[in-house]
Structure 1
Amino acid sequence: MLTANTTPAEKLRALRGLGVLGGLAGLIVALMVLPAACTAGVNARDSARWFDGVPADLDTSGVPQRSRILAADGTPVATFFYQNRVDVRLDAIAPMVRKAVVAIEDSRFYEHGAIDAQGTLRALVSDLGSGAVTQGGSGITQQYVKNLLLTQADSVAERRAAKEISAARKIRELRYAVAVEKRYSKDEILRRYLNIAYYGAGAYGIEAASRRYFSKHASQLNLAESALLAGIVRYPFAYDPTRHPEAARKRRDTVLQRMADLGYIDQTTASAAERQPIKLHVQDVKSGCVTSEAPFFCDYVQRDILANPVFGKTAGDREKLLKRGGLTIRTTLDRKAQKAAQRAVDAHVPAKNSAHKAAAEAMVEPGTGRIKAMVVDRRLGSDKVRGKTWINFAADADHGSSIGMQAGSTFKVFTLAAALDEGLPFGTRLMAPKEFTPVGYRDCKGNRVGDPGTSLHNAGDGEGGKPFSIVTGTQHSVNTFFLALEKKVGLCPTVRMAEKLGMKQATGKALQQYPSFTLGINPVSPVRLAAAYAAFGARGKYCSPVAIAQITDASGHRLKVPSAHCEQAVDKETADAVNYVLRGVLTKGTAAGQGIGRPAAGKTGTVDDFSAAWFAGYTPDLASAVWVGDPRGGYKHPMSDLCMDGRCYGPVYGATIPAPIWHQSMIGALEGTAESPFVQPSSHFFSKGSGEERAKLPDVRGLKVGDAAAKLRAAGFKVRIGAPVKSDYPKGTVADVSPSSPRPGDTITLRPSGGKQKHRDEAGGRRRGLPG
């Protein structure tokens, strides 16, 4: 409106606006009489055909819809969107919503065509009289087209062109509106409009708006709620009930009265609805992984889509698919396992711990490669905030920006598997010196590496200076034994074994090949290590770790997803033998006492100078790898004398913190599931014995059973009492002990004496009356 206080610049802008509006008025009138004018000549006829034809570039399929990431059980993990929109059918929208929108936006919608002459001219007259655009005048079809063009605009220039007040834009919109009216029924146009319109507060479409303001589906909206949402569309910010409740209420009442005037509802019903207060039940929908219950798993899935060409040729295409494609992404996440892992990690390494340490764990299903859980002790967010990080320490660089961490002795499993694969029996014994100088190693190209090498030694357990078998060398994780075993087997076969089981550096580079390979010099990620160990649980079947099970787009079509590419990477008998050896780590080795009450196997890992610690373990049903270290740099901030939140550990080994995390998380993840056994190794692996050390058994025969049991337990054995036997030992004392040559920690069976027995000849002679 021009007033006495209007500035010259404002007057100039108003005059320009009037010029545009005047031009548009003439244009609209011309379009209305266009059919009649078509008979005037060839030019008019061609113009009519051009306007009335379907534009070649008309695309009504590009409306952005939000994508959802779901756990394996279908529960939501996260939502991604450019615009928060959930497209729904017309029958999924309450009838009162449809009536309310038609009443307030375009009451003659079902009567006129693409152009509403009455409404358009009325709006133009009003706008020309006021000197500004005060009434839209566009019908629902035109509004749908305008929203569609604005939504499909990718660049700033395209968005500006979709909103500018110009004759060219109006002609384009009107031409598209004519085409839309030809292509779709009125009901379908209304459905599309309801699904594309903006309702404020980040809600696009009626379903998202209903969930945003009332936490219910659009099909459940009552009359007052329907009128409120219908009224928001004209000015979404001004009528946002969370910001301007009074303005929203007045607008709602206007809609209700308009519905009564049109006969959609009676006046009594309208008045009753107007007396109702606005009752909101706001549901805040966040986009992205930050607020997810599984933030780092969510981030892994997001990066999987954004980095994989299977989801689009360019990074822009892939991001558009994720944020606009209306995808339903069903993942492999096991919510029970995820919660168990998160609780375990947080309990042992709190997010804001005083020592600034961090922990990460990944769980993978043997035989499928499905990632069941992925956790970091921090929360997803800026590293500038204590207790948060953007780096996913559980994943490789391409899925979480981590360059990986040295794996320590968890890599000894690949030397073990290579040795067993060559047929070496469990009883194979090698000397493990206190120090080992690597000489004579060759990489897979035949080049000598490590000559002359620095002398390597054992960890702080003091092992060395004596021979070990494959079994005992593994159970006690003797560095010099594994250096000797790696030399016997060959560095290249050891490296090839690791590669067959999916191992590579977290940066994506090939594994470094040096004599210390078996000691875990390569930086890797927990998820890749867990997948490798899972292969042993699956009897040698290796599957690449995968997080996505299925993706469907907005139309319900299934998209291609990354495959686990499962293959028999290791001979079954070799895997069975590895499982046999690693089971002993949990019963009598470096992780003794960390068993989980079912068949399980694993390996500790301690990195040089206590810069990091690992534990990787598995059952036939689930594998897990745990890392604990310092994100600031493990060698600069070692765990050689760690105190954290009031608890002091001294030097941290793989069994100190990582193994207890694994223990707690595995018990929680597998709770309520049936246990699966490992397969007994082939007999040829026992050709030199079991490989176990034999223990000295105290002679307890003739002792009272209780005294004998106490003596055996003190020697490290378990004890059970068997059935009594007749013997020359006094009744109630120990008469028989088995086995006679046990291994450390074995169960010893004690059989008490039932009293003296008579010799057979003496008893028989008496029965027959023969001489004594």
Structure 2
Amino acid sequence: MSENARATTRLLAKLAATIVVAGALVAGLMLPWVGGPGLAARNSVSLLDALPVELTDETPAGVTRVLASDGSLITNFYEHNRTPVTSDQIADVMKQALVDIEDSRFYDHNGLDVQGTLRALVKNVAAGEVQEGGSTLTQQLVKQTLLQTATTPEDREAADAETVGRKLREARLALALEDTYSKDEILTRYLNLVYFGQGAYGIQAAAQRYFSVNAADLTLPQAAMLAGLVQSPFYDEPINNPENAQIRRNQVLQRMHDLGHITAQQLSEITPTPVEVTPGQAPPNGCIDASIGGFFCDFTRQYLIQELGLTKAQLDKGGLTITTTLRPDMQRAGDQAVLDTVAMGAGTVAVYDVIEPGTGKVLAMSVNRRFGCDAPECESVNFATIPTKGSGSTFKMFVAAAALEQGLPASHTITTSEPYESKVYESYDPETQRIEPYEVENVGSNYPRTLTMTQALYMSSNTYFLALEDALGRIEPAVRMAERLGMTFDYSVTQTPAQQIIDENRPSFAFGTDGVSPLDLANAYATVAARGVRCTPTPVLSITTPNGEPLLGEDGQPVVRENNCEQVIEPGLADTLNQMMIKDVQPGNRLQTGARAHIPGHQIAGKTGTVQERDSVAFVGATPQFAASVMLFRPRDTDDVGSYGGGLPAGIWRQAMAPILTSQEAVPFPPADPRYAGRGVDAAPQRPTRFQDNASSRSGNRSGTTAGNTTPPPAEPEAPEQPEAPAEAPTEPPADTGTPAPETGGDTVTN
């Protein structure tokens, strides 16, 4: 059999099947009206009851919009590019063109056009091909709604199956729709739902995609072209198939003329002209298209799914409005500061995260990468949140906080040797294969041997903080303090679990050697800045449905609730810590490490950090209004990043925060609490005396690594912060090789 014969046979078979379906359809649909008006009324009620929920929504959902806190658009999430519009936002000529070409008896039938179906059958049989469809616009609306809302392959197959059962169900639902909604409502829903090609769902998206206009402003030629796309959006769209588009548009125009809706002059003027298009871009979709804050966008999407329990379908199909905590001014300032310091896509990653103390609102996330795109400077790993490298001596704040809580005041004075050998903690020496006392030293020769806790914190003395860990007797208080303030230790790739650090009694904890999340770090310091109130970091202010109502969870309550905040340390302890760390930034404190972050007129509580070999460096600074972390690290190797924490990171912090802080009134920190300050945060040692209290009594407590444990300790502790050379950091004071200024005294320890 020839190919032509086979084609003819297939066509005749299809036409025969169509006739059978139409006959069954007519018989099945006539049944409710056989027996008089009473029976018809009863069946009308049953048809309304049969409407699935997908067909009771008056407007199909559009894209989910993700907004910054000021209402500006960050991006959209969507599976279908659709922007629903109201009836008065659609040009009348568009409605007329669609009705004329798809369902000219639309305003006369009740959802099922039996006369039109039979007419189409006769015409198609006579022509030997399918030239005219028999479904009404209402039937098409039913089919397209069920197809586009199907969640399983089985549902999609059922909505598109060429069976008598599907046709009967579709027709009955069409009748129910007509009994429920007005003609204009049905037509508007159809125009908002149907696919027009080029990824455009609905008339507004189509008008924007092909002509860069709104649906209300469509002209007759444009409306005719769009109406013609409904049946074959791929083959007749004008961007890739302009000749097909012109032929199909002219068919629509001819039909409109035949029905008396356009004049012969309009027809003759338009049909010879090609289709004129002014293509518009599809709306941004996903974090890869974010206009600002791509990594913040990624954090938000993960938060919506993992913390708030939304599904991907809800995000991509729900038409939600998600208002986030992002402050565009802070994001732009952070982006500029980061890129002015480390080039886009450089081997060194630079990260800047900002959190609002007391609320947990994440205000900005800057990374010297573009999120998710396919280019050398792009990155899908969210370095702003994932623990990658350590943050060095920023962890000394946790040890200091634990010591204050254990009763050792800010004036607690210790004299240490150089290097200092722990009386409590041990480590494994792989060269000698022996368990030996844990030992650290400072970098350089200008560190005083005698320091208060305040001095040791802003000078970042390694020897002092190992001695302070000795005074605590075990590492658990410092680890638990870090957890309470907001640090997590559950990323197995780069972090050691908190309990393991405690069980192994690791003294290297104070030196921040494990991977650290920049967001966690900012949040921990935000807790201290908020006087001890820890909040869960959140990027979301509100989520509303297409009708403007708050999105509800399975419990019937809004999915976005008041943030989870709690008091985790005494306000006085936090106040004292802040006053101690102010000295790291405020100029005039000898051997301070964070002076480059100073912004005149504002109190900034800060701490620097540098891991061994300067593989990773950090600065964290906070005011009562903002807390921000900066980290620079090499994610795939261990090369020197070229700075200490008090250099480039502190400089990024200052550049990013200066325009924000200088535009508003300064807010000072509360003064230190005498209960935790001892003889004052500014207190310095008297002549040190021989240590006679619990530290010496613990000197024989070998509670660290035990003999037989052959696991080497973590990486060596961080080198302390040193001021950068004047050429690199002109705003930073030169290194001080002298003794710190005398202070007023406090409890003293000699080790």
Smaller-chain TM-score bracket: 0.7 to 0.9
CA distance 1:146–1:687, shift in 2 (3 Å)? closer
Match of residue 688 from structure 1: 679
Bigger RCO of structures 1 and 2 (CA < 8 A, at least 6 apart): 2
CA distance 1:608–1:260, shift in 2 (3 Å)? same
- Establish whether residue 232 from structure 1 lines up as the match of residue 222 from structure 2: no
Task: Map Cα deviations across residues 312-350 of structure 1 (whole Å, 9 max, x no partner).
Answer: 5xxxxx111111111111000011111111222222222
Correspondent of 1:593 among 591, 596, 615: 596
Query: Which letter does structure 1 place at the counterpart of 2:532?
Result: G
8 Å Cα contact 1:505/1:522 also seen in 2:
no
Give me the whole-angstrom Cα distance separating, in 2, the residues matched to 1:454 and 1:20. 89
Give me the whole-angstrom Cα distance separating, in 2, the residues matched to 1:525 and 1:61. 46
8 Å Cα contact 2:295/2:367 also seen in 1:
yes
Task: Map Cα deviations across residues 417-448 of structure 1 (whole Å, 9 max, x no partner).
Answer: 22334454433211233233344369xxxxxx
- Establish whether residue 389 from structure 1 lines up as the match of residue 379 from structure 2: yes
Residue ranges of structure 1 left out of the alignment (5+ in a row): 313-317, 396-401, 443-450, 643-648, 695-715, 718-740, 746-772
Task: Map Cα deviations across residues 265-290 of structure 1 (whole Å, 9 max, x no partner).
Answer: 55556666666962414122242111
Match of residue 694 from structure 2: none
Give me the whole-angstrom Cα distance separating, in 1, the residues matched to 2:387 and 2:672. 37
Give me the whole-angstrom Cα distance separating, in 2, the residues matched to 1:195 and 1:394. 39
Give me the whole-angstrom Cα distance separating, in 1, the residues matched to 2:673 and 2:42. 86
CA shift, 1:497, in A, is: 1.9
Task: Map Cα deviations across residues 85-106 of structure 1 (whole Å, 9 max, x no partner).
Answer: 1222223323332222222222
CA distance 1:257–1:562, shift in 2 (3 Å)? same
Correspondent of 1:480 among 458, 463, 477: 463
Query: Which letter does structure 1 place at the counterpart of 2:462?
Result: N
Match of residue 197 from structure 1: 194
CA shift, 1:531, in A, is: 1.0
8 Å Cα contact 2:573/2:676 also seen in 1:
no
Match of residue 639 from structure 2: 638
CA shift, 1:61, in A, is: 5.1
The structure whose Rg is larger is 1
Query: Which letter does structure 1 place at the counterpart of 2:597?
Result: Q
Match of residue 55 from structure 2: 60
Match of residue 316 from structure 2: 323
CA shift, 1:496, in A, is: 2.5
Match of residue 340 from structure 2: 347
- Establish whether residue 538 from structure 1 lines up as the match of residue 547 from structure 2: no
CA shift, 1:152, in A, is: 1.9
CA shift, 1:385, in A, is: 4.8
CA distance 1:455–1:441, shift in 2 (3 Å)? closer
Q: Secondary structure at the match of 1:455?
A: strand
Match of residue 380 from structure 1: 371
Q: How does 1:254-265 map to 2 (within 5 A)?
A: 254-265=251-262
Give me the whole-angstrom Cα distance separating, in 1, the residues matched to 2:265 and 2:510. 84
Give me the whole-angstrom Cα distance separating, in 1, the residues matched to 2:342 and 2:161. 56
Give me the whole-angstrom Cα distance separating, in 2, the residues matched to 1:527 and 1:301. 13
Correspondent of 2:354 among 363, 368, 373: 363
Task: Map Cα deviations across residues 349-380 of structure 1 (whole Å, 9 max, x no partner).
Answer: 22332xx2212221111121111111221222
Q: How does 1:718-737 map to 2 (within 5 A)?
A: none
CA shift, 1:160, in A, is: 3.1
Correspondent of 2:401 among 388, 406, 417: 417
Query: Which letter does structure 2 place at the counterpart of 1:622?
Result: F
Match of residue 427 from structure 1: 411
Task: Map Cα deviations across residues 429-487 of structure 1 (whole Å, 9 max, x no partner).
Answer: 11233233344369xxxxxxxx9555332343446561111121111100121122233
Match of residue 649 from structure 2: 658
Alignment length, in residue pairs? 660
8 Å Cα contact 1:620/1:677 also seen in 2:
yes
Q: Secondary structure at the match of 1:406?
A: coil
Task: Map Cα deviations across residues 481-538 of structure 1 (whole Å, 9 max, x no partner).
Answer: 1122233245333223212211112528546332222211342211111011112222
Range 384-393 or range 598-607, more displaced? 384-393
Give me the whole-angstrom Cα distance separating, in 2, the residues matched to 1:207 and 1:335. 28
Match of residue 104 from structure 1: 101
Match of residue 494 from structure 1: 478
Query: Which letter does structure 2 place at the counterpart of 1:677?
Result: P
Task: Map Cα deviations across residues 587-606 of structure 1 (whole Å, 9 max, x no partner).
Answer: 23112233123221211111
Q: Secondary structure at the match of 1:112?
A: coil
Give me the whole-angstrom Cα distance separating, in 2, the residues matched to 1:432 and 1:691. 20
- Establish whether residue 80 from structure 1 lines up as the match of residue 63 from structure 2: no
Range 179-188 or range 128-137, more displaced? 128-137
Match of residue 614 from structure 1: 618
Range 464-473 or range 664-673, more displaced? 664-673
8 Å Cα contact 1:97/1:230 also seen in 2:
yes
- Establish whether residue 471 from structure 1 lines up as the match of residue 454 from structure 2: yes
| Percent identity of equivalent pairs | 37
Give me the whole-angstrom Cα distance separating, in 1, the residues matched to 2:168 and 2:547. 31
8 Å Cα contact 1:360/1:376 also seen in 2:
yes
8 Å Cα contact 1:428/1:691 also seen in 2:
no
Query: Which letter does structure 1 place at the counterpart of 2:575?
Result: D
Match of residue 697 from structure 2: none
Match of residue 578 from structure 1: 577
Give me the whole-angstrom Cα distance separating, in 1, the residues matched to 2:447 and 2:53. 78
CA distance 1:215–1:674, shift in 2 (3 Å)? farther
Match of residue 527 from structure 1: 519
CA distance 1:743–1:436, shift in 2 (3 Å)? closer
Q: TM-score, normalised by structure 1?
A: 0.78
Give me the whole-angstrom Cα distance separating, in 2, the residues matched to 1:459 and 1:272. 87
Range 385-394 or range 67-76, more displaced? 385-394
Give me the whole-angstrom Cα distance separating, in 1, the residues matched to 2:40 and 2:672. 88
8 Å Cα contact 1:68/1:76 also seen in 2:
yes
Task: Map Cα deviations across residues 211-261 of structure 1 (whole Å, 9 max, x no partner).
Answer: 323334323434443333223222212232222234334434443454454
Residue ranges of structure 2 left out of the alignment (5+ in a row): 427-433, 552-558, 686-732, 744-751
Give me the whole-angstrom Cα distance separating, in 1, the residues matched to 2:513 and 2:176. 66
CA distance 1:156–1:64, shift in 2 (3 Å)? farther
8 Å Cα contact 1:437/1:453 also seen in 2:
no
CA shift, 1:744, in A, is: 9.5
Give me the whole-angstrom Cα distance separating, in 2, the residues matched to 1:16 and 1:38. 35
- Establish whether residue 208 from structure 1 lines up as the match of residue 208 from structure 2: no
